[in-house]
Homo-oligomer: A and B are copies of this chain.
Amino acid sequence: MNQDTNSKTISNAVIRRLPRYFRYLRELIRNDITRISSKELSEKMNVTASQIRQDLNCFGGFGQQGYGYNVTNLYGKISTILGTDKGYSAVIVGIGNLGKALANNPLFEKRGVKIIGLFDTSPEVIGNDVAGLKVLDYSEIEKFLSENKADIAVLTVPKNKGKEVAEKLAQCGIRGFWNFSNMELSLDEYNVKIENIHLGDTLMTLCYEISKLDEENEAQK
């Protein structure tokens, strides 16, 4: 109970930074580094050391003065907080290019999420083998989800289908939506969580940064 209350007080901003810690720590483990100071981690991650201490203190402070952080412990705790040990499973709806790329991406496995079903509406796609699974007919998804528990739906369906598909899946018990269908999904009526992904946003930021860079270079001439 106490731990529960404790973890609820973690701010959204900290939570958003945790996957980065997760990635850096995994890299350290891969390189056989067993402990690290907040200063070293700070240099690697380009975040201030005090920010790191503050962030990690939210979970009860894993660090020891003069010793630093035990990398394996810290990685384990962050993994647990992020739910990678929950054994979540996912279905992908829409097996076009992006759906296929995601199905084949090791990112799911690395984060402990198992893909258990792929769905599409196109006769040319249904029945194909993708990432070791046979693509199923979307019209069978209700039946599938009544027989197989899935926690997450990855949506790579056309924009105008996003809401309709998501509502159906929420009724089938899906609790998390990883939405690539390029629309802002909201399902206020359902008790679900949604991450809307807009890949293009970071491309635009990059274009802005290049144009600033060019302006600066121009001004220095």
Contact = CB atoms under 8 A, between A and B. Distances in A.
Task: Give the one of A82, A104, A113 with max B CB within 10 A.
Answer: A82
A156 to B, nearest CB: 9
Contacts of A20: 198, 201
Nearest to A100: B97
B176 A15 contact: no
Interface in A54-113: 81-84, 86, 88, 96-98, 100-102, 104-105, 107-108, 110-113
Main secondary structure of the interface of A (DSSP, over half): helix
Interface of A: 4, 7-8, 15-16, 18-20, 22-23, 81-84, 86, 88, 96-98, 100-102, 104-105, 107-108, 110-113, 151-152, 175-178, 182, 184, 191-193, 195, 197-215, 217, 219
29 contacts: A4-B215, A4-B219, A7-B212, A16-B201, A19-B198, A19-B201, A20-B201, A23-B198, A23-B201, A82-B207, A83-B207, A83-B208, A84-B204, A84-B207, A97-B105, A100-B101, A107-B182, A107-B199, A111-B204, A113-B203, A113-B207, A152-B207, A175-B210, A178-B202, A191-B213, A195-B205, A195-B206, A195-B209, A197-B199
